[in-house]
A = this chain, B = another copy of it.
Amino acid sequence: MMDLYPTGVFCAALTPVTANLAPDVPALVQHCRWLLAQGCDGIALLGTTGEASSFSVDERKAILEGVVEQGIPADQLLPGTGCAALSDTVTLTKHAIRLGVAGVVVLPPFYYKEVTVDGLTASYEAVIERVGDARLKVVLYHIPPVAQVPIPVPLIDRLRDRYPDTVVGIKDSGGDFAHMVELVRRFPGLAVLAGADPLMLPLLREGGSGCITATSNLAARELATIYAGWRDPARAAEVEAAQARISEVRALVSHWPQIAALKGATALRTGRPGWALPRPPLMALTETERAELQFALEASAVL
């Protein structure tokens, strides 16, 4: 079996903000510690769930620096560095490598729609060439429901062909399990990570590498249980129970807008009400919604 990277459970960590909507680095560091203690293999901070695109390049640099300075191991971090502007993606990727991160998750440039495979190829090539660092490990980020710009298969073909040691993985948040399996089959040597928690287990069984997911902000332990035990027949019952739990928590949270619900749940878990705030254009749950969420989480013993 080839040595894939990244493998395991990565949490697409939420980014807490202060009352002034500035990044709250101490609260994020605490959250990262908790996630690692829950069994996450790493933290994919500053992705869609982390509201990365709602922060400036300087804020994103400060967040990553703060987390590393406060002792979260850089080699367990997998930050998002993809922006609409080529120059921003290059700046953030260079910065992340300099801090010693193991890899970066790179969105396609997402402002223009219906761009060509040639155009996307040119974008990723320009990033890789301008960063020009042998340590660079890129995880492509396929999230068509949000970015509206997909990572088409011919793009992966070209990038794998040209940069087999650099373009090492893909996070597939398209929600289409058949597509994830197709990626595993077509691209041996490419780490395919599920972008939805309940799909990690079936994808592992098809040769996938793990997950980068949002619900793991709340239920990382169950994902870690699945990842540790899925090959072991003796742990089948434990794995199935964890999988059922993951599906339950995800279904519960999906009654509200995802990031607001996960932030609301984290506010309740930590006792820090500030956690509930996203940055506009996302909105916090209303008081009523937060009360409903608390009832639901308590009824399911998530809290």
Do residues B111 and A280 form an inter-chain contact, with CB atoms below 8 A? no
Given contacts A84-B84, A110-B111, A111-B110, contact A280 B53 (CB under 8 A): no
**Interface-forming stretch among A120-128, A220-228, A267-275?**
A120-128
Q: What 1/0 flags go to A101-123 for Cβ under 8 Å of B?
A: 00000001111110110111011
Is A55 among interface residues, defined by CB-CB distance under 8 A? yes
**Interface-forming stretch among A67-75, A86-94, A206-214?**
A86-94
Q: Given the complex of chains A and B, what is the CA–CA distance between A54 and B123 in angstroms?
A: 10
Given contacts A110-B111, A281-B112, contact A85 B148 (CB under 8 A): no
Is A251 among interface residues, defined by CB-CB distance under 8 A? no
Do residues A281 and B148 form an inter-chain contact, with CB atoms below 8 A? no
Given contacts A86-B21, A111-B110, A146-B112, contact A119 B53 (CB under 8 A): no
CB distance from A162 to the nearest CB of B (A): 15
CB distance from A158 to the nearest CB of B (A): 13
A27: chain B residues at CB < 8 Å are: none
B54, B87, B91, B109: which contacts A281 (Cβ < 8 A)?
A: B109
B55, B85, B283: which contacts A54 (Cβ < 8 A)?
A: B85
